[in-house]
């Protein structure tokens, strides 16, 4: 399996609940390398740009309101098969359907308040990483 990079976000619900350290601990335990990391607060326009692929979906406004509601932690993770590995570590979007031991199962409270985001494919990862990090931040 090839070494890949993926974007990971500790969403505002998890930051507000002081879960960032717990999530970072799980990232380290899963043997990811953190290539870049920063804390930020998205504006509504920045959240809309990031989630532009969902613009026509009924949840778009609620999603972008939520993602711009408070601080988040964004990071680039690297590992063999990082995209699928991070998605497995997070668990299903709906915490009620997530596998035992996953971040979303143990820490998430709803589909919206599920603590984390992760890229779903290589092309998505490239866009998402570039959205938050400049080239020099990824060396």
The yes-or-no answer on residue 117 being catalytic is yes
For residues 55 and 45, the answer to whether their CB atoms sit within 8 Å is no
Give the span between the Cα atoms of 17 and 45, in whole angstroms. Answer: 25
Name the CA dihedral angle for 48, 37, 70, 23, rounded to a multiple of 10 degrees.
110
Catalytic residue among 26, 104, 105, 117: 117
Catalytic residue list? 117
């Amino acid at each position: 399996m090839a070494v890949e990079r993926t974007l990971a976000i500790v969403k505002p619900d998890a930051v507000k609940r002081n879960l960032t350290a717990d999530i970072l601990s799980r990232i380290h335990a899963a043997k990811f390398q953190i290539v870049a990391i920063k804390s930020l607060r998205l504006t509504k326009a920045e959240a809309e740009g990031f989630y532009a692929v969902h613009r026509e979906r009924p949840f778009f406004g609620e999603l972008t309101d939520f993602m711009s509601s408070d601080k988040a932690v964004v990071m680039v993770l690297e590992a063999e098969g990082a995209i699928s590995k991070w998605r497995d570590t997070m668990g299903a979007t709906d915490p009620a359907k997530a596998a035992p031991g996953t971040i979303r199962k143990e820490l998430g409270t709803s589909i919206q308040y599920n603590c984390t985001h992760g890229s779903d494919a290589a092309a998505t990862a490239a866009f998402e990483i570039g959205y938050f990090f400049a080239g020099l931040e990824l060396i």
